Amino acid sequence: MRISIFNIFCLTVCLFMVVGISHAATIKIGKDQKVKTIKNGIAQARSGDTLIVFQGIYKEGNIIVDKPLTLLGSENPVLDGEKKFEPISIKSNNVTIQGFTVQGSGHSSIVDIAAIKIYNRSHIKVIDNKLEDNFFGIYSQNAKHVEIRGNRIQAYGVAEQLIGNGIHAWKSDSIHVENNQIFGHRDGIYLEFVTHTHVINNLSERNLRYGLHFMFSHNNSYMDNVFRANGAGVAVMYTRNVHMENNKFEENWGDSSYGLLLKDISDSEIINNEFDRNTTAIFMEGSNRIHLEQNKFNNNGWGIKIQASCMDNVFKDNNFMQNTFDVATNGTLTLNNFENNYWDKYEGYDLDKDGVGDIPYRPVSMFSMLVERYPTAMLLFRSFMVTLFDRTEKLIPSLTPEGLKDEKPRMKSIKV
């Protein structure tokens, strides 16, 4: 008897599933289709339906997706906001937007208008779209379980206050941002009060402020991204437990520009990243218990600027090559540890041939301390007197921090 009741129960469940599946329908939208507009298609659709939108330009103002639907673009249809509207507003769970060009959203100094905006919902996918000349690109507001993948997001901002961010997430959780390309926005990617989020394999280039910007966003990771030629590469602020690995920070130049800005962050990892041709590769202020390992610092103005407010940070097995200054600081007391790094300016010896220098290396030069206090002193760079002072300081340290040294500098660069 128990077995038969169980079988009846399973059959009933299966019937419900079949009935549920049978309700799902496909609605075709286009000038040659029965349904001409996306709004009409949404109005006719039931939860779980798929809308296939064929090639064409659709000027329908603000399209609100208010039920669980999949919207698929065929041959790249264009949704035009006409510089007035928010083209797509997602106000339902379980929505997918894929294969569209979304262009010309409205602009506002009061409301954050986006090409595609998610309002307080979950399980949303925004995949393989092209976003062109919008205020904000993709905006996640108080959302959960959002996948943003394979989109190309292009804007033409000329001033920070006149343009929004490419991908913007506020008070959101479990966001997956992968394989997107973002150009010309204020920040390429902006995360504020965002948790459990992964930013993977994106290109963020030529944005006005930051390629990626974290604010109060804990327990996140970003890996395998390229941040190139932005106002500054990445800023991580007021945050803890961030994992940063295999990223490239390239050509972020400017008076106050950094490859990576760390301000008031803690308990994080920076592993196997490449910093190439930045004004300052990493600037650290009020940052504690950061583990930096197997990173490459090449051809930067400053490799690392670490303020006296930082403590208990570990720099291990990194390569410092062809930087103007490897390390600079603004104080004489240091509470951080440098160990087993390679420094191309190291002139020590290795008598026991163990691959480790027999005398410590002090990466902070007297001239870098002088420049930190008096920036105009850079006019004297490469002069004979500067070289003489630096060599004297190495023999009889008096101005540079005594504790900031690598006790075991490597004789050869590390393969990372």
Looking at residue 9, what is its pLDDT? 47
Looking at residue 8, what is its pLDDT? 44
Looking at residue 158, what is its pLDDT? 86
- How does pLDDT run across 48-97, given as a tens digit for each residue? 999 999 999 999 999 999 999 999 999 999 999 999 999 999 999 999 99
- pLDDT above 70 coverage of the chain, percent: 84
Whether 339 and 316 have beta carbons less than 8 Å apart is answered as: yes
Report whether pLDDT(377) > 80: no
Looking at residue 51, what is its pLDDT? 97
Of the candidates 225, 363, 376, the residue with the CA atom closest to the CA atom of residue 302: 363
Looking at residue 363, what is its pLDDT? 85
Query: Residues with Cβ < 8 Å from 89, sequence gap 6 or more?
Result: 62, 63, 64, 65, 117, 119
Q: Could you write out the three-class secondary structure of 45-78?
A: CCCCCEEEECCCEECCCCEEECCCCEEEECCCCE
Residue 105 class from Cβ within 10 Å (0-12 exposed, 13-18 middle, 19+ buried)? buried
Looking at residue 350, what is its pLDDT? 85
pTM over 0.75: yes
Looking at residue 157, what is its pLDDT? 86
Instruction: Supply the DSSP symbol for 35.
Output: B
Whether 106 and 133 have beta carbons less than 8 Å apart is answered as: no
**Cα 59 to the chain's mean position, in Å?**
32
**282 vs 372, residue with greater confidence:** 282
- How does pLDDT run across 111-152, given as a tens digit for each residue? 999 999 999 999 999 999 999 999 999 999 999 999 999 999
Report whether pLDDT(395) > 60: no
SS3 state at 16: helix
**Partners of 383 in the β-ladder:** none
How many angstroms separate the CA atoms of 203 and 189, rounded?
10
**Cα 264 to the chain's mean position, in Å?**
17
How many angstroms separate the CA atoms of 341 and 149, rounded?
37
Residue 243 has φ and ψ, to the nearest 5°, of -110, 120
Region 345-370: mean pLDDT is 81
Report whether pLDDT(3) > 50: no
How many angstroms separate the CA atoms of 381 and 28, rounded?
68
215-232 burial string, b = 16+ CB within 10 Å, else e? Answer: bebbebbbbebbbbbbbb
Looking at residue 402, what is its pLDDT? 66
Report whether pLDDT(180) > 70: yes
- How does pLDDT run across 185-209, given as a tens digit for each residue? 999 999 999 999 999 999 999 999 9
178-198 burial string, b = 16+ CB within 10 Å, else e? Answer: bebbbbbbbbbbbbbebbbbe
307-317 burial string, b = 16+ CB within 10 Å, else e? Answer: beebeebebbb
Cα distances (angstroms) measured from residue 25 to each of 20, 34, 91: 11, 15, 21
Of the candidates 182, 253, 246, 255, the residue with the CA atom closest to the CA atom of residue 213: 182
Query: Residues with Cβ < 8 Å from 400, sequence gap 6 or more?
Result: 332, 362, 364, 365, 366, 369, 393
**Cα 383 to the chain's mean position, in Å?**
39
Looking at residue 389, what is its pLDDT? 57
